Structure 1
Amino acid sequence: MIGLYGGDISNAQENVPVCVEKGASDDSFPNFQYTPENIQGVGCDVDPSEVTLPGCSCHSLSCEPLSCPCLRFGLVYTEGGLLEQREESAASYSQPVFECNALCACGESCRSRVVQNGLQTRLCVFRTENRGWGVVTLDAIKRGSFVCEYAGEVIGFEEAQRRQLSQTPEDKNYIIAVQEHGGSLRLGVTFVDPVAVGNVGRFLNHSCQPNLTMVPVRVHSLVPRLALFSSRDIEPGEELTFDYSGGRAPRTDASGEDLQRKVCLCGAQNCSGFLPLDFSVLR
């Protein structure tokens, strides 16, 4: 999988370059504005980059769950900055995930600071055989490591609906809708669209047997950052993928006919046959 790569599509906005496969023609590469973090889009009332969450007063190198208000739901990272492995899947964490933020008194080495530290793994965009662009890692990745965000424009429901309805069957849908629940309560939905403004996460392909899982993480704002963590150890040269459905079963209509429109080509043994599509945006 590892070939010749070069350049930096992030234009030095990331900690490490995000390279692209050499030989890919310039006219075939998507035209978009790179952003390492979410930006405010149409229908989003809160600027995701604005610090709106209160900080802790822990004057220590690393905060403790029992005394730090930021960690009132518990610390989810190990000493080495890995996502704790729980019985439930990371994609269905039952409690919100908060990190210490810019207003906190703790040190930058606090182990509650992971996603905010940005990209640490060397990633490259490449041409797949039959699934468009994809992302490969050039570094070994330990299970539970933060890999990258799925970043772009945070938009409102009506704008997400308008954009999805305007797409043709040939268009790729990049809009991710993340629904959060607290027990039996629905806490809200976050819509992120990286098609015009986004990061390396926009190139990640779907797999029914992925090696990444998405976890909403709040750092400075109530608007979550859609963080992708490794669900297993990953070797250099492996393609990185996540489940676009968040692990939910494919939706069917009353007659049992699958409503999902595009064939899934992930090649996994448990492949559902179709790419996930959130039809709640279309109603």
Structure 2
Amino acid sequence: MELSRGLENLPVTVWPPLNEPLAFEYSPDHVTAEGGGPDPSEITLPGCNCHSPSCLPSMCACLHYGENYNNLCINCEGNGLDFSKPIFECNTMCQCGEMCQNRVVQRGLQFKLEVFKTTRKGWGVRTLEFIPKGRFVCEYAGEILNFREAYRRIRLQSSSDSNYIIVIREHLSNGQVIETFVDPTYIGNVGRFLNHSCEPNLIMVPVRIDSMVPKLALFAACDISANEELSYDYSGRYSNYFPFKKHEKLQEEEESKKTCYCEAKLCTGFLPYDRSLFCK
């Protein structure tokens, strides 16, 4: 079975082949939710005037914050990945060539991925080939929601339901916080099957191309071997919350605790939990 039905650059296979994940509509890109949310397909960012095959940071308006990629890899700082600065790729309005070095996420899948049945975690995703550190792997694409719609959908879930809704918070230098709500439950891509790990091999980075609605791009945080399961930290490691046991916490927090089966040495024991969607 080919999960993406030809919508990706490369086929996304399923194992075992006779099994099929729960039905959903495959979309390699974000879509607008019926319940309300910004339109991710609207072109709102201006393009650069670089009439060259590839852009240079000193001349390109899209590279205002410096070079984003080096040989298709997100720029590294020391031994880690530099995702502290905003990333804007060249877009539809730009005058540069399609092979510009500042066009990476928009090229789509570059490695063969497979959705497979795990022992304890339901469905997961693994790579069928080696992925070098820093390379783009896939997006986490789905319906773009506003807070009200995200809150409504969360409240309709039971404790046994899988929650695919992710909240990305970007903190600007002026103190403003930009929130992006993505739900791939009904419409999404291969990223919806990625499992959590307390020691992940992927890192999620907001990348903007045509719109201020960011692509939630997942990059390799280390070299990843063929047949290795792909994972990222659902909490983002920063502003989300883990479950609490104290009696004064909301009842939803106790009910929402779910055991983590990542088997990492530093596993916290429970999946990350963002209580902001349970509070008005």
Give the TM interval when normalised to the shorter protein: over 0.9
1:281 aligns with 2:271: no
Q: Is the 8 A contact 1:95 1:182 kept in 2?
A: no
1:262 paired with 2:253, answer no
Residue among 8, 11, 22 paired with 2:5:
11
Name the CA distance, whole Å, in 1 between partners of 2:204 and 2:3: 23
Aligned to 1:60, which of 52, 59, 64? Answer: 52
Q: How many residues align?
A: 273
Tell whether the 8 Å contact from 1:179 to 1:186 is kept in structure 2 after alignment. Answer: no
Give how far 1:89 is off: 5.4
Q: Verify: 1:25 aligned to 2:25, yes or no.
A: no
Q: Deviations over 1:50-91 (max 9, x none)?
A: 22110011011111112111110111100x11011125954x
Deviation, 1:269, is: 0.4
Pairing 1:42-191 to 2, within 5 Å after superposition: 42=34, 44-78=36-70, 80-87=71-78, 90=81, 93-183=83-173, 185-191=175-181
When residues 36 and 85 of structure 1 are mapped into structure 2, their CA distance, relative to the original with a 3 A threshold, is same
Aligned twin of 1:251: 242
Secondary structure of residue in 2 paired with 1:163: helix
Amino acid corresponding to residue 73 of structure 2 in structure 1 = L
Deviation at 1:254, TM superposition (A): 8.6
For residues 197 and 270 of structure 2, the distance between their equivalents in structure 1, rounded to whole angstroms, comes to 10
Is the partner of 1:13 in helix, strand or coil?
Answer: coil
Deviations 1:12-34 (A, max 9, x none): 000000000134434xx211000
SS at match of 1:70: helix
Aligned 8 A contact 1:63 1:111 in 2:
yes
Match of 2:29 among 20, 31, 37: 37
Closer/same/farther in 2, CA of residues 251 and 130 from structure 1, 3 Å limit: closer
Identity rate, percent: 48
Q: TM-score when scaled to structure 2?
A: 0.92
- Indicate conservation of the 8 Å contact 1:43/1:157, yes or no: no
Partners of 1:103 and 1:184 in 2: CA distance: 28
RMSD: 1.9
TM-score (norm 1): 0.91
Are the aligned partners of 1:126 and 1:133 in contact in 2 as well (CA < 8 Å)?
yes
